[in-house]
Amino acid sequence: MNHAPQPTQANGKSGQHPLRPDVESFYHLAHGGFEGKACQGTACFAARHLNPPRWAEAMENNPRVYCLGECFAAPAKGQTKPRPPVKVCSREGIVLGRIAKGGARTLAAYQAQGGYAALAKALAQPPEAILTAVDKSNLRGRGGAGFPTGRKWRSVASQPAGLKYVVANADEGDSGAYIDRYLMEDDPHSLIEGMILAAYAVGAAKGYIYVRAEYPLADTVLRTALADAQAAGWLGARVGGTAFSFELEVYSGHGSYVCGEETSLLRSIEGNRPEVMARPPYPTERGLFGRPTLLNNVETLVNIPWIVTHGAEAYAAIGFSKSRGTKVLSLNSLFNRPGLYEVEFGVTVRHIVEELGGGLRKGGKLKGVIIGGPIIGMIPPHLLDTPLGFEELAAIGAGVGHGGVVAFDEHTSIPDLVEHVFSFGAYESCGKCTPCRSGSGRIEEIFTHALAGDATKADLQECRDLVTALKLASLCGHGTGLARFAESILRYYPTEIEPCFK
């Protein structure tokens, strides 16, 4: 077996080493610095009128703090105590079932609710049976792109034998999304069991959970859960008494949105400067330390034990069109009923806004809603009857993304929102592509002038050209997502944009 170099970590965690200076300079939070700070993520931006002093404080932060996973209480200030309301609104509580009943933070609580039974069942079957189940379930990745999970798993499984990795993407940087945070904090073993099942299916011996710096409680809870799973024989040598071995550890991130992108995340674990890499080769072929790597989002992996326990057919029977199963949505504080909701694909955006969220607080008038943003298209009120589905939302220039739902009311002017999103985009760019590195900052600057009444029609045309460049010449979804956001704004909100340019 190949022995890859061990990753270098920072932040004073056990077994962590200092970052190289050229790597350290990449990260905003290489040395922490978000604790107790006010947040300036998009959900907090949408709610800034609810607490103007806190928003003013957030805007002063350097380094900036973007999304603490407390969007239900936005504008937020880093705390670990508040919990969001949690509701299962699907036939089956596949992902949120345990959390809706109070959670399963300990191994004993997880096992008392049937935890690790799926792993025991799987270990009695060949890996191929698990690959087939995941394929047939039609599960698609919940990290944003909706890529078929079974196809990704098969690609890793089919690579030549040798060291392979499984990595959980727990970077959850989309402002408005706080799904993975509470899955990890309140049901950590569901992720661990999903990862062990994935490793068994694809033949991986080693895994990492990449937890973002802004989620310190999730980091701690997972480290304890891993030790407990190891002591119970579910991790390490001879998992469940079989010949299969799997080592799993937490890697603590350093505060970079773009590290949620898969190639950037893998470079980060390696201890390299986490710039996005061109594909192919895909991580499934040449990933972490050059080895075949399966990388999935936390929510994707949490679906796996249910699929193994209940069967692919039962899973595929839930959902709608080409989007099967359930999706967890996290609603921001502008709703009357913010919180985590598990729904079946196919519910309309109107249902999410009006029935689940109960409309906007204080009778607010909906200006638009972003699902899975901020680097994704905005949904205007006249398209609320669009169903929640990967293809259906893409057809209107929006998307499912990771499922963070941020509503905007009449307190948000659209040019203000554009300036906010491009400021975020420029700040978090990895700098590899010119349109993203320089163009997003230029669009922010033009909108700052436009808001001051100092921009012309030629400036608007420059923005349009920059958006085209972002769309065509970006190496990753950060740049193309910014373009998608801008296109939706130019298409659906011309009456708010054009008067700002004389």
Ligand X SMILES: Cc1cc2nc3c(=O)[nH]c(=O)nc-3n(C[C@H](O)[C@H](O)[C@H](O)COP(=O)(O)O)c2cc1C
Beta strand pairing status for 326-331 and 339-344?
antiparallel
Which pair of tokens denotes residue 479?
Answer: 């740049």
Least separation, in Å, of the C-beta of 482 and ligand SF4?
Answer: 8
* Burial profile 282-293: b = 16 or more Cβ within 10 angstroms, e = fewer: bbbbbbbbebbb
Choose, by CB under 6 A, the member of 75, 84, 141, 255 that binds ligand X.
Answer: 141
With CB under 5 to 8 Å by kind, the binding choice for 430 among ligand X, ligand SF4, none is: ligand SF4
What is the smallest separation between the CB atom of 182 and ligand SF4, expressed in angstroms?
A: 27
Phi, psi of 17 (to 5 degrees): -115, 160
State yes or no: residue 394 binds ligand X (CB under 6 A).
Answer: no
Least Cα distance to 278 among 124, 476, 465, 116 occurs for 476
Q: Which of 402, 473, 69 is nearest to 260 (CA)?
A: 402
| Contact indicator for 485, 414 with CB cutoff of 8 Å | no
Q: Quick check: 442 binds ligand SF4 (CB under 6 A)?
A: no
Furthest C-alpha separation in the chain: 73
Tokens read off for 410: 């009449």
Instruction: Among 144, 305, 319, 479, indicate the residue that binds ligand SF4 (CB under 6 A).
Output: 479
| Alpha-carbon span 115 to 165, nearest angstrom | 23
Which run of H or of E encompasses 450? helix 440-451
Give the C-alpha distances (Å, rounded to integers) separating 425 from 45, 398, 411: 14, 17, 22
143 binds, among ligand X, ligand SF4, none (CB under 5 to 8 A by kind): ligand X
The number of residues that bind ligand SF4 (CB under 6 A) is 14
Q: Decide which of ligand SF4, ligand X, none touches 90; Cβ closer than 5 to 8 Å per partner kind.
A: none
Q: Is 297 in the site for ligand SF4 (CB under 6 A)?
A: no
| Distance in Å, CB of 375 to ligand X, minimum | 7
Please choose which of ligand SF4, ligand X, none residue 381 contacts, taking the beta carbon within 5 to 8 angstroms, the exact cut-off set by kind. none
Least separation in angstroms between CB 186 and ligand SF4:
31
Contacts of residue 301, defined as CB under 8 A and 6 or more positions apart, other chains included, come to 168, 191, 194, 195, 198
- Selected from 206, 223, 478, 484, the binder of ligand X by CB under 6 A is 478
Does the bond joining 160 to the residue before it have cis omega, within 30 degrees of 0?
A: no
If binding is defined by CB under 6 A, does position 142 make contact with ligand X?
yes
Question: Residue 258 interacts with ligand SF4 (CB under 6 A)?
Answer: yes
Q: Which does 300 bind (CB under 5 to 8 A by kind): ligand X, ligand SF4, none?
A: ligand X
Q: Shortest distance, CB of residue 67 to ligand SF4, whole angstroms?
A: 17
For residue 297, give the nearest of 152, 493, 143 by alpha carbon. Answer: 143
Stretch that binds ligand SF4, among 149-157, 170-178, 227-235, 473-481 (CB under 6 A): 473-481
Residues that bind ligand X (CB under 6 A): 141-145, 147, 169, 171-173, 258, 260-262, 295-297, 300, 476-478
